[in-house]
């Protein structure tokens, strides 16, 4: 299938004042992505042809070094619902055709799957109908604690979501790596009860991604935002994240 390479990087340069050695320069984090684009014309077009896959790496440039640190990976789906609507392809079919993971985002649609639901329209007030799904953003264990995941998500939003809705399901999917896919505990309704540490890790991630402006859809695990509404600046997001990290560290020291 056709593929395209993307390199996303912020044009501004600013170092955030943080606690001790946690300073981070915003322009040093960037993404290198490959995309998979399928034609949406012809006789035998599958519904998920309206989904462009975006996969790549999160990198941090190092001053005075010729190479970069590869700190994590990112995967996302750009869902062209506006084009599908014009072609008469049901929105539900598009997400259902890809996987169980993408099917979760049908929670954002109305009952017949032809448009966004009442909560999305009234709360997010999206301009446009396209959907950007942030599927997985994973930071290697040795590079966690610096906010790289938040910055990668922001780059994806500014690079690929000019309108419509951006959504994610904040969950500790790495806890599923050693569990059989057929095990009952892997079902979304069972994970919190049957996988050790799932509930606490999930709550932490939900709070983490809410810093970017994501809100939880009612009766759903899906979180969403509109890129065209006013949201916190990346400087504000990073200050809040690092401040919270510092407070948690102090609390741990007090109770140690």
Instruction: Supply the DSSP string of 13-34, one letter for each residue.
Output: --BPP-STT---BGGGEEEEEE
Q: Are 32 and 56 in contact (CB under 8 A)?
A: yes
pLDDT in tens, 25-71: 666 889 999 999 999 987 788 999 999 999 999 999 887 667 789 99
Give dist(CA 192, CA 29) in Å, integer.
33
Question: Where along the chain do its domains lie?
Answer: 3-255
1: helix, coil or strand? coil
pLDDT in tens, 227-247: 999 888 988 999 899 887 767
pTM of the model: 0.85
Band of the pLDDT at 202, cuts 50, 70, 90? very high
> Which pLDDT does position 184 carry in this prediction?
53
Give dist(CA 145, CA 245) in Å, integer.
8
Q: Are 237 and 250 in contact (CB under 8 A)?
A: no
Asked which of 44-53, 103-112, 182-191, 225-234 is least confident by mean pLDDT, the reply is: 182-191
Strand order through the sheet with 223-225: 3-9, 29-36, 51-61, 68-79, 131-139, 165-168, 223-225, 215-216
113: tokens are: 């799957």
H or E element that contains 209: helix 198-210
> Which pLDDT does position 225 carry in this prediction?
97
Return the axis-axis angle of helices 148-160 and 234-255, rounded to nearest 10°: 160
Helices and strands in the chain, H and E counts: 8, 8
């Amino acid at each position: 299938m056709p593929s395209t390479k993307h390199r996303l990087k912020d044009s501004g340069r600013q170092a955030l004042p943080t606690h001790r050695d946690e300073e981070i320069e915003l322009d040093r984090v960037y993404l290198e992505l490959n995309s998979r684009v399928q034609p949406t014309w012809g006789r035998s077009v599958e519904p998920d042809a309206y989904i462009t896959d975006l996969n790549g790496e999160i990198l941090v440039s190092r001053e005075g070094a010729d190479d970069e640190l590869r700190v994590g990976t990112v995967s996302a789906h750009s869902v062209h619902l506006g084009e599908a609507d014009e072609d008469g392809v049901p929105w539900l079919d598009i997400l259902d055709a890809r996987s169980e993971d993408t099917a979760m985002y049908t929670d954002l649609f109305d009952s017949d799957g032809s448009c966004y639901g009442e909560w999305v329209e009234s709360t997010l007030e999206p301009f446009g109908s396209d959907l950007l799904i942030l599927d997985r953003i994973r930071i290697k264990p040795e590079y966690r604690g610096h906010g790289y995941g938040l910055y990668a998500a922001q780059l994806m939003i500014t690079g690929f979501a000019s309108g419509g809705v951006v959504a994610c399901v904040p969950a500790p999917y790495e806890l599923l790596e050693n569990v059989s896919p057929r095990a009952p505990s892997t079902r979304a309704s069972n994970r919190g009860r049957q996988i050790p540490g799932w509930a606490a890790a999930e709550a932490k991630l939900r709070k983490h991604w809410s810093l970017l402006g994501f809100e939880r859809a009612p009766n759903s695990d899906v979180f969403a935002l509109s890129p065209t509404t006013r949201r916190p600046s990346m400087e504000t997001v990073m200050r809040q994240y690092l401040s919270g990290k510092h407070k948690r560290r102090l609390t741990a020291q007090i109770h140690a």
